[in-house]
Amino acid sequence: MRPSDGTPDRRGVYGGIRRRGFTLIELLVVVGVIAVLLAITLPALSGAQAASRRVKCLANLKGVGVGVQVFLNEAQEKYLPYCLPLDDSSVLGPADQSPGEVNPGGVLATFGPMLDSLAVMICPSDRDIPAGLTDAEAVGRHCSYEYWAGTLMLAREIFRDDRSPWVSVTRFYENNPDFPVFADSTERHPGGAEYDQNALYYGDWRADWLRLNPEDSVGPGS
């Protein structure tokens, strides 16, 4: 029914009261609230992802430690393996090496038989995998962790003319169980109390923050 004065009926077709829309100010307030919530949520989500990657990294290192301990238990001579400190088998190795062939003197070839899977040699936060490798191809061809024992052995061999560096380095670790045998090859896990890398320690093969700065670390005969 129209009003008696002839003015248009302001009710809707179905007799309901016409509702006004949101004002520009109200929309801006809503957008602002959403932006604040995103600003609070995204860092927390990023932190949770980083924590998850670190847990996986520590699990990898622990798996390597278990493999090495089994090797030492079964080996006739209880010496840490001798090999290069860091390995990218698809990049480093003999000039006549076939594509994809494991470097015989590298970490992967040396430690592979001790491990259930070479996938544990890839840090989930590693962004330095050579461009020629995809994530799938990296398994068995790339190692994210630096073999510190290998670094010490190489130093002994070069600077001390040590013909059996694995013997002296193993003895060093027996007397220094808190010196890492493996560590992240680059600073991938910021937030450590003293140094921002994960490491595997020799004494009880625990995986934890690297508590030594590699630049200040000393090894046998230094």
Beta-carbon contacts of residue 81 (< 8 Å; ≥ 6 apart): 68, 71, 110, 111, 149, 166
Among 147, 192, 178, 183, CA closest to 57: 183
In this predicted model, which residue has the larger pLDDT, 64 or 92? 64
Asked, for residue 218, whether it belongs to a domain, the answer is: no
pLDDT in the model for residue 222: 44
Asked, for residue 18, whether it belongs to a domain, the answer is: no
pLDDT in the model for residue 118: 92
Asked, for residue 221, whether it belongs to a domain, the answer is: no
* CB-based contact 181:200 (threshold 8 Å): yes
Mean pLDDT of 13-26: 65
Has residue 185 got a pLDDT over 80?
Answer: yes
Asked, for residue 121, whether it belongs to a domain, the answer is: yes
Q: How many CB atoms lie within 10 A of CB 32?
A: 10
- Is this structure's pTM higher than 0.85? no
Asked, for residue 187, whether it belongs to a domain, the answer is: yes
Q: How far apart are CA 89 and CA 163, in angstroms?
A: 25
Three-class SS of the chain: CCCCCCCCCCECCCCCECCCCCCHHHHHHHHHHHHHHHHHHHHHHHHHHHHHHHHHHHHHHHHHHHHHHHHHHHCCCCCCCCCCCCCCCCCCCCCCCCCCCCCCCCHHHHHHHHCCCHHHHCCCCCCCCCCCCCHHHHCCCCCCEEEHHHHHHHHHHHHCCCCCHHHHHHHHHHHCCCCEEEEECCCCCCCCCCCCCEEEECCCCCEEECCCCCCCCCCCCC
Q: How far apart are CA 34 and CA 152, in angstroms?
A: 54
Domains identified in the chain, total number: 1
Q: How far apart are CA 108 and CA 87, in angstroms?
A: 7
Q: Please tell me the number of Cα atoms within 13 Å of 197 on its side-chain side.
A: 20
Has residue 4 got a pLDDT over 60?
Answer: no
Asked, for residue 173, whether it belongs to a domain, the answer is: yes
Sheet architecture: strand order including 145-147 = 145-147, 180-184, 198-201, 207-209
Mean pLDDT of 182-198: 79
Confidence class for position 215, pLDDT limits 50, 70, 90: low
Has residue 161 got a pLDDT over 80?
Answer: yes
Q: How far apart are CA 84 and CA 218, in angstroms?
A: 18
Confidence class for position 165, pLDDT limits 50, 70, 90: very high
Residue numbers of the domain that contains 75: 24-209
Has residue 181 got a pLDDT over 90?
Answer: yes
Chain center to CA of 127? 9
Asked, for residue 129, whether it belongs to a domain, the answer is: yes
Asked, for residue 179, whether it belongs to a domain, the answer is: yes
pLDDT in the model for residue 129: 86
Mean predicted lDDT score pLDDT of the chain: 81
